[in-house]
Amino acid sequence: LLQRTPEGVYFADLAACNAFEAGPVRAEAVACPTLVVLGNEDKMTGPKQSRAVASSIQGARVVELDCGHAMLSEQSNAVLAALKTIV
């Protein structure tokens, strides 16, 4: 995937993610059933950050998977099972 990404796109994506500061504030406004699926080995969006956002959402459920950021590739069946609990 990275090899097919045009030059500069990956850097711009990471820069935008690093500059985004409103996650927990915006999360507080979520008013629907929410499931946060996180990878306990995720280096891009660390479990600590995911748990912080989840704790800002009233009633959010957290499912922690044994994987990194590419959870759909690493734990597709576990992601599907988690999603089935909320859909």
- For 26-35, what is the mean pLDDT? 95
Residue partners of 10: CB distance under 8 A and separation at least 6 = 2
For 1-87, where are the alpha helices, taking DSSP H only? 9-19, 23-27, 47-55, 71-74, 76-84
Q: By percentage, how much of the chain surpasses pLDDT 90?
A: 68
Among the listed ranges 13-22, 30-39, 57-66, 74-83, which one has the minimum average pLDDT value? 13-22
Q: By percentage, how much of the chain surpasses pLDDT 70?
A: 98
Whether 47 and 38 have beta carbons less than 8 Å apart is answered as yes
Indicate whether 13 pLDDT > 70: yes
Parse the chain into domains and list their residue ranges: 2-84
Reply yes or no on domain 2-84 having CATH 3.40.50.1820. yes
Task: Determine the pLDDT at residue 1.
Answer: 65
Indicate whether 45 pLDDT > 70: yes
